[in-house]
Amino acid sequence: MAKVLVLDDEIRIRGFIVVNLESNGFEVVEAASGEEALRIAHTQPDIQIALLDIMLPGIDGIEVCRELRQSYPAMGIIMLTAKEQEQDKVSGLEAGADDYVVKPFSPNELIARVNALLRRVTLVEQVSSSSEELICDPFVLCVSEYKLYKGEKSIAMTPTELAVMEVLLKRSGKAVSRDELLDAVWGPDYFGDPKIVDVNIRRIRRKIEDDPSRPFYIETVWGHGYRWHGESLA
Amino acid sequence: MSHLHSLKRHLVARYGAIIAITVLLLEGLCMFAIRSYYVNTIEQVLSNRVQLTADYYQKYVPGVTPLARAQKLLSSVDKDEVALVEVLDLQGQPVLDSDGFIADYRHTTPEVSAALNGQQHAWVGKSPLTGEKILAVAAPLCRDESRDTVGVLRYSVSLEQTFRVIQRLYIYCLLVGLIVIALVLALCYSLACRILLPIEDLTIAAKRLGAGAHDVRVRQRSQDELGQLAATFNYMSSQLDAAERAKNEFLSSISHELRTPLTSIKGWSETLFSGKLVDKPNQTQLGLEIICEETDRMIGLVEDLLDYSRLQVGHITLSLETVEINDLVTEVYQQLTIRLSERHIGLTLDLQQQLPLVEADDDRLKQVLLILLDNALKFTPPDGLISIRTRFEQDIVITVADTGPGIAPEDLPFIKNKFYKGNSKLPGSGLGLSIAQNIVQLHKGRLEIASPATGGTTVDICLPQSTPWTAGTYNWTSKANSTRQNLS
């Protein structure tokens, strides 16, 4: 049973989220403040998914997200944002969130997002048992450790970033469209903003590129998507 | 900006023309004076000489024939005399001149004719003989006491040299005049620019402001009236900017305020609808309760907004009656005791007996009290204390005090502003105090907020006591509204 952390200061919103998660077979832990959420996360490292509200008294959801991401690169994080402004979505994703849901949202949509993200998180776990490694000089994608090695240097990756990297590496040298990435990583039933792909690519570039403003390994294919610079593996 | 350019041209052309005309007139006057001065001086000198010589002739010159007399006379003339001196006979023909010639010629020029008629006369004109400009002065020559004219004495000088000097002076004059005009035109132009540049700036800025830019600022080029206009414009622009920002903050705060209950309502209603809670009556009950409460919260928010906008346009009418403040406060107190006991917040009531009556709108005043108490409630921690007191000083004062964290000094000046919520992320529109303030002002009272550094907030509602001549005699309404009512 997957464990989900729900952080929202409004007990009424938390209430129905909990009811829906539980009826879909999730184990739920609740937090009413950012501080509480961090405390819970540290005592229960088996949390797989965190739903974080952004507008909170005390430390806000973005900060919680950043700290969780640092300590738990494998955790799936979905932001619950009350603002539709581009800035809020992006700042959440930049802080390391895998996805976001805009309030007011339908519980079913939220469950669908949680399930999609969970697939990604568990996919990584399944693969980890087979300890598969994708090698593409100078990178070694070590799925079991949620890590990418660039030469000797290890780079921590989130499940989403790992999934994106996996798709790109497996089709090294070929262009992958944004929609293909969206389908492969976020699932075919994802109905959020496709910009999420770009934000993740940007995040990955910042981690792996020598000069993120002039990316070398992940090329942009204008109007289409992205391509891993390198020899085809097949 | 063509009209501005034309204004510039106008300014330069008008002022330029006025100055040019003035300068040219002065020049003309000056030239006339120069010419007069030279010619008159020469004329004066010549006239004196003619007079002297003629007198001398009359008294002392002997001789029988006119020629002999003329010779005698001319010999007495100074050797350095520059003028040509002639003695003419009665026909105007020279008898002899100072050069010793006898010209075979008759003078017909006006000075000679006048002299023949016994008048001394000066004449400026072109000599028929030489074609030169000359000044000639002629005087009648008489013998002894008999006043009979026996001839004419004529002094004449060429004015060519003089006129050349005058001409040179004319040219200097004109040059100076032209320089003055050019300078003035340049000054005019720079003045026009000085006036018009800021106007041009303002026009562009106003256009941008009108087009929806918010950070429009005009360069303040000077400290004069135009500089002040620019400063005023900047002030206006900054006020608009602030208003715009307040509006945006309000919109985002309102949308957040609406989104939170909407999220609950949507979440719970869909959960209930999906049938997940069919076998859980307790949770079903909870969900329905939440939906109702959240709906109420939204209704409250909308009411606040409507109230606020009505107060802003002056649509709210107070239906004034004589109110016993202590009764009103007690009523509100009783309403609240139940709500407070749930949250472990104490509420005390301290009334001063025999308060004067107040002319007030019962319901509106309750609304103000509820807003203040609601705020106090929001910020008072469990086990805190809220107290309501009434007292009479110059006004009737209702005090609502809490033991909450108080208001930060930097927030205090703004809290009565609409939508101002300080750093609070607590629910609310940020309109409460603004509405309360408006209502109290309609009652001709004051709302005074104090928050000492030691914590806690005290709000005083100060109301004037009812005066005998206004009590019950007429309805105070906000001004705009009374006219509206008259019209309808």
DSSP for B23-34, please give it. HHHHHHHHHHHH
In the prediction, which pLDDT does B481 show? Answer: 40
Q: Give the confidence band of B478 by pLDDT, cuts at 50, 70, 90.
A: very low
B405 to chain A, closest Cα gap in Å: 15
Strand A3-7 with A27-31, pairing: parallel
Are B290 and A105 inside 8 Å of each other by CB? no
- Which one, of B35, B27, B29, lies nearest residue B178 by Cα? B27
Are A19 and B283 inside 8 Å of each other by CB? yes
**DSSP SS3 for B142:** strand
* Rounded-to-integer distance, Cα A57 and Cα A77, Å: 20
* Rounded-to-integer distance, Cα A95 and Cα A54, Å: 12
Which pairs from A93-98 meet CB under 8 Å and 24+ separation? A93/A196, A93/A199, A93/A200, A93/A203, A94/A199, A94/A203, A95/A62, A95/A63, A95/A65, A95/A66, A95/A69, A96/A65, A96/A66, A96/A68, A96/A69, A96/A70, A96/A158, A96/A203, A97/A52, A97/A65, A97/A69, A98/A158, A98/A159, A98/A160
Q: Is there a domain that residue A233 lies in?
A: no
Q: For the residues B468-472, what does the mean pLDDT come to?
A: 45
Q: Give the confidence band of B477 by pLDDT, cuts at 50, 70, 90.
A: very low
Rounded to the nearest integer, the mean pLDDT of chain B is 81
Strand A76-81 with A133-136, pairing: unpaired
Is residue A117 located within the same domain as residue A19?
A: yes
Is residue A103 located within the same domain as residue A177?
A: no
Probe site for chain A from B271, B421, B423 (most A CB atoms < 10 A): B271
- Chain B residue closest to A110 (CA)? B267
**What domains sit in chain B, N to C, each tagged with a CATH number?**
2-166 (3.30.450.20), 238-312 (1.10.287.130), 315-487 (3.30.565.10)
**Using CB atoms, which residue from A23, A83, A106 is nearest to B266?**
A106
In the prediction, which pLDDT does B486 show? Answer: 38
Q: Give the confidence band of B367 by pLDDT, cuts at 50, 70, 90.
A: confident
- Strand stretches in B129-185, DSSP E: 133-142, 149-158
CB B290 within 8 A of CB B268: yes
- Is the pLDDT reported for residue B355 higher than 90? no
User: How many contacts, defined by CB atoms under 8 Å, are there between A and B?
Assistant: 67
Is residue A98 located within the same domain as residue A137?
A: no
* Rounded-to-integer distance, Cα B88 and Cα B141, Å: 9
CA atoms within 13 A on the CB side of B488: 6
Is residue A80 located within the same domain as residue A136?
A: no
Of A123, A148, A178, which marks where a domain is finished?
A123
* Rounded-to-integer distance, Cα A6 and Cα A17, Å: 8
| Nearest-10 crossing angle of helices B225-273, A11-23 | 40
Contacts of A23 in chain B (CB under 8 A): 276
- Which one, of B126, B75, B129, B124, lies nearest residue B97 by Cα? B75
CATH code: domain of residue A179: 1.10.10.10
Is residue A101 located within the same domain as residue A163?
A: no
Are A12 and B294 inside 8 Å of each other by CB? yes
Taking only the tens place, the pLDDT of each residue in A89-142 is 777 788 888 888 888 899 988 998 898 888 877 766 555 555 567 777 778 887
Strand A153-156 with A147-150, pairing: antiparallel
The token duo for B473 is: 């005699």
Taking only the tens place, the pLDDT of each residue in B284-317 is 998 999 999 899 888 888 888 888 888 777 777 7
- Which one, of A78, A73, A76, lies nearest residue A8 by Cα? A78
Is residue A31 located within the same domain as residue A142?
A: no
Is residue A171 located within the same domain as residue A115?
A: no
- Residue A209 lies in domain: 131-228
Rounded to the nearest integer, the mean pLDDT of chain A is 83
Contacts of B425 in chain A (CB under 8 A): 55-57
CATH code: domain of residue A99: 3.40.50.2300
Contacts of B286 in chain A (CB under 8 A): 15
Which CA distances in Å does B447 have to B263, B397, B398?
A: 36, 10, 10
Q: For the residues B246-275, what does the mean pLDDT come to?
A: 85
* Rounded-to-integer distance, Cα A125 and Cα A119, Å: 10
Are B263 and A103 inside 8 Å of each other by CB? yes
Total number of domains in chain A: 2
Probe site for chain A from B248, B249, B253, B260 (most A CB atoms < 10 A): B260
**DSSP SS3 for B160:** helix
Q: Which of A41-55, A93-107, A157-171, B190-204 has the highest mean pLDDT?
A: A41-55
Q: Is there a domain that residue A163 lies in?
A: yes
Are A13 and B263 inside 8 Å of each other by CB? yes
Better pLDDT: A147 or B141? B141
The token duo for A64 is: 């919680």
Taking only the tens place, the pLDDT of each residue in B29-62 is 998 999 899 889 999 988 998 888 888 877 777 6
Q: Is there a domain that residue A56 lies in?
A: yes
**DSSP SS3 for B172:** helix
Is residue A51 located within the same domain as residue A115?
A: yes
Is residue A107 located within the same domain as residue A158?
A: no
Chain A positions with Cβ closer than 8 Å to B: 10, 12-13, 15-17, 19-20, 23, 55-57, 82-83, 103-108
Report which secondary-structure segment, H or E, holds B95: strand B94-97
Are A13 and B260 inside 8 Å of each other by CB? yes
Contacts of A57 in chain B (CB under 8 A): 425-426
In the prediction, which pLDDT does A123 show? Answer: 67
- Is the pLDDT reported for residue B268 higher than 90? yes
In the prediction, which pLDDT does A121 show? Answer: 79
Q: Is there a domain that residue A234 lies in?
A: no
Contacts of B379 in chain A (CB under 8 A): none
H-state helical runs in B222-322:
225-273, 281-313
Are A106 and B270 inside 8 Å of each other by CB? yes
Probe site for chain B from A10, A11, A12, A26 (most B CB atoms < 10 A): A12
**Using CB atoms, which residue from A12, A16, A103 is nearest to B259?**
A103
In the prediction, which pLDDT does A58 show? Answer: 82
- Is the pLDDT reported for residue B480 higher than 80? no
ipTM attached to this prediction: 0.74
- Is the pLDDT reported for residue A191 higher than 80? no
Phi-psi region at B204: left, alpha or beta (left = phi > 0; alpha = psi -120 to 50): alpha
Phi-psi region at A223: left, alpha or beta (left = phi > 0; alpha = psi -120 to 50): left
Of A96, A123, A150, which marks where a domain is finished?
A123
In the prediction, which pLDDT does B175 show? Answer: 92
H-state helical runs in A49-133:
61-71, 86-94, 107-130
Of A123, A145, A168, which marks where a domain is finished?
A123
B238 to chain A, closest Cα gap in Å: 25
Is residue A97 located within the same domain as residue A142?
A: no
Taking only the tens place, the pLDDT of each residue in B70-124 is 777 777 777 777 888 888 888 888 888 777 777 777 888 888 888 888 888 888 8
Is residue A163 located within the same domain as residue A203?
A: yes
* Rounded-to-integer distance, Cα B449 and Cα B420, Å: 15
Taking only the tens place, the pLDDT of each residue in A135-180 is 777 788 876 666 788 888 888 788 888 888 888 888 888 889 988 8
Is residue A144 located within the same domain as residue A113?
A: no
